[in-house]
Amino acid sequence: MTAADFVATCPPMPDAKICGITTVEALDAAIEGGARFVGFVTYPKSPRFLSMDKLAALAARARGRVETVLVTVNADDGHLAAANVAAQPDWIQLHGSESTKRAAEVRPFARRGLIKAVGIAKHEDFATLPPYYPIVDFFLFDAQVPKGGLPGGNALPFDWGVTAGAQIDRPWFLAGGLNPSNVKEAIQVSGADLVDVSSGVESSPGLKDPHLIAQFLAAAEV
């Protein structure tokens, strides 16, 4: 999918992903608020981790109502196969250190394609992207993982201005430290195609607040 193809198929704003959904209430709030994507995390160390049974139940409720993203971190084929049966995800998000070779191996597990998360701190970090162009459909730019931190959901922003004017041959999500109060500014500064939020709409780690989800999605309309 090229950036032009993506724009042609976009629904009205907001183009947002609510990631780390763990409850029916959060899922329904994301859908009712107009999110294009919802993310389900199967990384065991995450506070947003879903068992296969819970993953299956939430994915079934989401199916046909919103695009679903299976969020993984260096997952093996056995895990991907089980999660694929449970969730039938539209997209798989690679949020670990997956190489281009591994990304190509994972791609057949997704119905539509891949999202590759990349930690960004400076403009030079974008030089890592071109080898992934033939394989992935979206990038997700997040803050680099702090020492002792988990991949994603650390509520840490990076310098949004570093993305402005960057030549990126794929649509991309801005993530990291976004919340209802700053998402509008983040979009304006970064020029993001899409936005992704997890901890910024939580009342406690792993527990999404439906009211914050609604506020975030309303604020993301620009």
Residues with a known catalytic role:
19, 142
Written as six digits, the tokens of 104 are 């190509």
| Contact assessment for residue 58 and residue 46, using Cβ atoms and an 8 Å cutoff | no
Residues 6+ apart with CB under 8 A from 82: 52
Q: Return phi, psi of residue 156, to 5°.
A: -110, 120
Which of 76, 69, 33, 78 is CA-nearest to residue 48? 69
Ramachandran quadrant class, 126 (left: phi over 0; alpha: psi -120 to 50; beta: rest): alpha
- The dihedral through the CA atoms of 133, 71, 222, 8 has a sign that is positive
| 80-150-124 Cα angle (round to 5) | 95
Where is 55: in which H helix or E strand?
A: helix 52-62
